[in-house]
């Protein structure tokens, strides 16, 4: 029998993580017009920073000097992960902060020189950086090489009941998602957000008006990359392990699909797209267990459905399911509604005038 509670507990953390990534990409491409094809790089940086930090601190705190990728370290982590609640929570918060800083700094350093050359080079540069980083991590022994890190301590490992532990993690991930959404909404509807849109619409015009476009783009990439790193850290704590092959380029384009489907330039649209694709991801994963003799891999089914959904949306709703809305400035609140009322009045007058002309011509013709 289908257990809805268990399904939600397993789906909501994945949804929250993907929604955070979609919000980050939406700020980059939807509001600023920066094509980031290497989002997964900063996602992976956050995951490895969180895993390395948490395991190193735990082993050092209890006096073990095993390499964090060794079998002894993995076994030891299973024994000590739930001893001290304050240590778990403190390490979790520290890991999130470090993931934000390291991933944000990486995004800034990679993008800033490229932005000075031109926006056309940004996407391919970050895409190349992400793939180079993944190959590098597969051969970087301090983080386990291609095997990655196992035994990452869950922030609520001290809770004896598994269901309660998972529910607490769901609450934390949803709280972080809501915080990110509110922050990006405030940013998008601020004067800084209007500058971002001006850069998207006409970069040359923004430069002529004295706006430091390369610096603005680099600042946004720092924030978006840092928040993507936080999503990666949550993913590492959710799974309890990270490997380089989790962060392939396909993850980036899956997030792109979420933004395209939901609507670029609309943060609610990004969350809607994330909910659809994360739900589709979980449903196709369940198919592996329900239908063991499927002639086709469910992952391929998911990608086919993704392609069909994008084609349908681009045909009937090119701007996404939830199209971009005007920036909510004070001037818009004061005059926007008035202008809309006047537009309606003028439209009614024009229609009445058209009907009057037709009636007049009919009368003249009748004579």
SS3 364: helix
**With 60 as the cut, is the pLDDT of residue 337 above it?**
no
Average pLDDT over residues 160-177: 93
Distance CA 162, CA 77 (A): 17
Token reading at 311: 């084609």
Average pLDDT over residues 256-278: 91
Adjacent-strand bridge partners of 242: 149
DSSP 42-74: HHHHHHHHHHHHHHHHHHHHTT----TTSHHHH
Phi and psi at 292, nearest 5°, equal: -75, -20
**pLDDT per residue over 171-196, tens digit each?**
999 999 999 999 999 998 888 888 89
SS3 153: coil
Residue 84 Ramachandran class (φ > 0 left, ψ -120 to 50 alpha, else beta) = beta
Give the model's pLDDT for residue 331. 59
Give the model's pLDDT for residue 209. 84
pLDDT-derived band at 35, boundaries 50, 70, 90? confident
Q: Which residues 6+ apart lie within 8 Å of 263 measured at CB?
A: 30, 269, 270, 272, 273, 319, 320, 321, 322, 323, 324
Give the model's pLDDT for residue 121. 77
Token reading at 198: 């001006």
Task: Output the average pLDDT for the chain.
Answer: 86
Token reading at 57: 């601190």
How many other CB atoms are found less than 10 A from the CB of residue 197?
17
Name the least confident of 129-138, 145-154, 290-299, 334-343. Answer: 334-343
Token reading at 45: 């940086």
User: pTM of the entire structure?
Assistant: 0.86
Distance CA 18, CA 1 (A): 28
| Among candidate residues 230, 322, 225, 227, the one with its CA nearest the CA of residue 267 | 322
Question: Contact, 244 vs 138, CB < 8 A?
Answer: yes
Question: Contact, 146 vs 244, CB < 8 A?
Answer: yes
Q: Where are the beta strands (DSSP E) in the chain?
A: 149-150, 241-242
SS3 293: coil
């Amino acid at each position: 029998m289908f257990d809805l509670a268990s399904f939600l507990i397993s789906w909501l953390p994945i949804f929250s993580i993907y929604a955070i990534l979609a919000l980050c990409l939406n700020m980059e491409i939807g509001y600023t017009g920066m094509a980031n094809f290497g989002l997964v790089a900063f996602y992976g940086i956050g995951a490895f920073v969180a895993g390395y930090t948490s395991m190193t601190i735990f082993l050092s705190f209890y006096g073990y000097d095993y390499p964090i990728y060794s079998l002894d370290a993995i076994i030891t982590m299973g024994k000590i992960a739930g001893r001290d609640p304050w240590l778990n929570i403190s390490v979790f918060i520290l890991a999130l902060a470090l993931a934000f800083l390291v991933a944000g700094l990486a995004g800034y350093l990679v993008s800033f020189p490229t932005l000075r050359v031109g926006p056309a080079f940004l996407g391919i540069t970050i895409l190349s950086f992400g793939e180079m980083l993944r190959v590098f991590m597969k051969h970087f022994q301090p983080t386990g090489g291609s095997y990655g890190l196992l035994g990452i301590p869950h922030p609520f490992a001290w809770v004896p009941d598994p269901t309660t532990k998972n529910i607490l993690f769901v609450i934390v991930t949803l709280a972080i998602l809501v915080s990110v959404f509110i922050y990006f909404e405030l940013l998008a509807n601020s004067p800084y957000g209007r500058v971002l849109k001006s850069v998207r619409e006409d970069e040359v015009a923004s430069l002529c008006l004295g706006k430091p476009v390369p610096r603005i783009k680099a600042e946004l990439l720092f924030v978006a990359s840092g928040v993507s790193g936080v999503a990666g850290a949550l993913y590492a704590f959710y799974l309890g392990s990270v490997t380089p092959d989790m962060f392939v380029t396909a993850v980036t384009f899956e997030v792109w699909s979420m933004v395209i489907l939901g609507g670029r330039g609309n943060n609610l649209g990004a969350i809607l797209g994330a909910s659809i694709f994360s739900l589709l991801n979980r449903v196709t994963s369940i198919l592996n267990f329900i239908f063991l003799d499927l002639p086709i891999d469910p992952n391929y089914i998911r990608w086919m459905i993704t392609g069909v959904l994008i084609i349908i949306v681009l045909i009937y709703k090119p701007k996404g399911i939830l199209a971009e809305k005007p920036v909510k400035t004070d001037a818009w609140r004061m005059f926007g509604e008035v202008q809309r009322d006047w537009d309606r009045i003028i439209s009614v007058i024009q229609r009445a005038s058209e009907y009057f002309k037709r009636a007049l011509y009919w009368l003249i013709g009748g004579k």
